[in-house]
C-alpha cells in the first residue's frame, strides 16, 4: 500500500498555501478537490489591504503579515511563471474636511507610517465624486485568486498530486499506522475546506459562521481608473475597462446564488462614488 505523508482536502488559498509549505519541507502529499464555481477562492475580488479603513487602524501584525504574504505570492508567480499579484494603491475617499484632517493626523502615527501616505490627494477625475480628495494606502493590490487556483490545479495535476473528485468522509479508515483512504495510507489528514467544514462530520461542531459576499462587474470605459477606490464600496480595476464593485456581507442566507437585493445595494453605493 502506498504511503503518503499528508492527505489534503480542498484547494483554495489555504490548501495552496499548505501545499507550498509541505513542498518546501519535502513532504509527500495528495490533494482531493471536487471543484466548485461557488468557492470563495474562485469568486473573490482578491483585494489585500493592511488597514481597517473605517477606523484608520492596522490589522493585527500588519507589517509581518504583509511581508509574508507578498513573499509567498512572489515565489508562486516565479514558480508557476504567471502573474497573480497586481499591485495597486488604494485611494480612500474622504467624506469631508474633518476626515481629510484626520487622515493627515493618523498617517503620522508610527504604526501607520508604513502604509498611509500623509498627503491628501486631490480628485482630478471628473467621473468620480470626491470633493475632499483621497487618502492613499500603500502595500495594497489584488490577487487574481481564480487564476491562481486554476494554474495551481493544473500544476498539481502534472505532478500527479491531485485527485479531482469529492472526498468521502465515511470512507476513512483509522489504523495504528495512519489513515487509509482509497488504498493509500496517510500519516495526517488536513481539511482546507473553508465553510465546507460545516458539512464535515469531524468538525461540524465548531461555531463557524458563514459569510456571503457579493460583487458585481461593471464596464466603464470613461472611468479610466488605475487604482483601487474605496468609498461605501470598493471599485477594483481588473483590465479592459472592467471593474469589480462591492462587496456585501450577509450571515443569513439560504443559498450561494447572487441576489437582486445585493446588486441593487452595490449599485446604489456606486452612484454616490461615480
User: What per-residue confidence (pLDDT) applies to 220?
Assistant: 97
In Å, how far from its chain's centre is CA 182? 32
Q: What is the pLDDT of residues 53-65, one digit of tens each?
A: 988 899 999 999 9
Cα–Cα distance measured from residue 265 to residue 248, given in angstroms and rounded to the nearest whole number: 8
pLDDT of residue 55: 87
Q: Return the DSSP state at 6.
A: E
Share above pLDDT 70 across residues of the chain, in percent, rounded to a whole number:
99
The closest alpha carbon to 218, from 171, 271, 165, 254, belongs to 271
Sort 117 into a burial class: Cβ within 10 Å, 0-12 / 13-18 / 19+: middle
Q: Which three cell numbers stand for residue 239?
A: 483590465
d(CA 51, CA 62): 8
Give the bridge partners for 2, in sequence order.
184
Phi/psi at 67 (nearest 5 deg)? -65, -40
**Greatest distance between any 2 Cα atoms in the chain:** 70
Summarize pLDDT for 161-217 with one digit per residue, the tens. 999 999 999 999 999 999 999 999 999 999 999 988 999 999 999 999 889 999 999
Confidence of residue 225 (pLDDT cuts 50, 70, 90): very high
CATH of region 47-143+211-270 = 3.30.9
Q: Are 2-45+147-199 and 47-143+211-270 in the same CATH fold?
A: no
User: Residue 37 pLDDT more than 80?
Assistant: no
| Three-class DSSP category at 129 | coil
Residue range 241-265: mean pLDDT, rounded: 92
Residue 35 has pLDDT above 90, yes or no: no
* CATH class as words, domain 2-45+147-199: alpha beta
Residue 192 and residue 176: Cα distance in Å, rounded? 24
Rg value, the chain, Cα: 22
- Give how far Cα 262 sits from Cα of 38, 41, 178, 252, Å: 16, 20, 46, 13
- Which pairs with CB-CB distance under 8 Å and at least 24 residues apart come from 13-20? 13/41, 13/145, 13/148, 13/149, 14/192, 14/194, 15/192, 16/76, 16/148, 16/149, 16/152, 17/72, 18/190, 18/192, 19/152, 19/156, 19/161, 20/72, 20/75, 20/76
- H or E element in which residue 124 lies: none
pLDDT band at 17 (very low <50, low <70, confident <90, very high): very high
Q: Taking 90 as the threshold, does the pLDDT of residue 256 lie above it?
A: no
Q: Where are the domains of the chain?
A: 2-45+147-199, 47-143+211-270
**In the predicted model, what is the mean pLDDT of the chain?**
95
Q: For position 54, what pLDDT does the model report?
A: 86
What is the spatial distance between Cα 254 and Cα 245, in angstroms, rounded to a whole number?
A: 23
DSSP 8-state symbol, 212: B
DSSP secondary structure, 156-178, as one string: HHHTT-EE-S---GGG-EEETTE
Mean pLDDT value of segment 232-258 = 93
- Grid coordinates of 44: 473573490
Q: Would you say residue 38 has pLDDT above 70?
A: no
Amino acid at each position: 500500500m502506498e504511503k503518503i505523508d499528508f492527505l489534503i482536502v480542498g484547494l483554495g488559498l489555504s490548501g495552496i498555501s499548505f501545499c507550498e509549505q509541505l513542498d518546501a519541507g519535502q513532504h509527500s502529499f495528495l490533494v482531493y478537490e471536487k471543484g466548485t464555481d461557488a468557492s470563495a477562492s474562485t469568486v473573490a475580488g482578491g483585494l489585500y489591504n493592511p488597514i481597517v479603513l473605517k477606523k484608520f487602524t492596522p490589522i493585527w501584525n500588519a507589517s509581518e503579515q504583509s511581508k509574508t504574504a507578498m513573499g509567498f505570492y512572489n515565489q508562486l508567480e516565479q514558480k508557476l511563471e504567471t502573474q497573480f499579484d497586481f499591485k495597486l494603491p488604494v485611494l480612500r475617499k474622504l467624506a469631508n474636511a474633518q476626515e481629510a484632517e484626520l487622515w493627515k493626523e493618523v498617517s503620522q502615527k508610527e504604526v501607520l507610517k508604513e502604509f498611509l501616505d500623509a498627503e491628501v490627494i486631490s480628485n482630478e477625475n471628473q467621473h468620480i465624486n470626491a470633493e475632499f480628495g483621497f487618502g492613499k494606502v500603500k502595500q495594497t493590490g489584488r490577487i487574481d485568486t481564480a487564476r491562481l487556483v486554476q494554474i495551481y490545479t493544473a500544476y498539481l495535476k502534472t505532478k500527479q498530486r491531485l485527485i479531482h473528485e469529492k472526498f468521502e468522509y465515511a470512507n476513512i479508515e483509522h489504523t495504528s499506522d495512519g489513515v487509509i483512504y482509497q488504498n493509500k495510507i496517510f500519516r495526517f489528514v488536513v481539511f482546507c475546506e473553508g465553510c465546507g467544514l460545516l458539512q464535515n462530520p469531524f468538525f461540524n461542531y465548531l461555531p463557524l459562521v458563514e459569510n456571503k459576499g457579493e460583487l458585481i462587474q461593471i464596464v466603464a470605459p470613461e472611468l479610466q481608473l488605475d487604482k483601487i477606490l474605496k468609498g461605501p464600496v470598493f471599485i477594483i480595476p481588473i483590465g479592459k475597462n472592467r471593474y469589480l464593485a462591492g462587496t456585501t456581507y450577509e450571515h443569513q442566507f439560504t443559498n450561494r446564488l447572487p441576489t437582486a437585493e445585493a446588486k441593487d445595494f452595490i449599485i446604489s453605493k456606486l452612484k454616490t462614488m461615480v
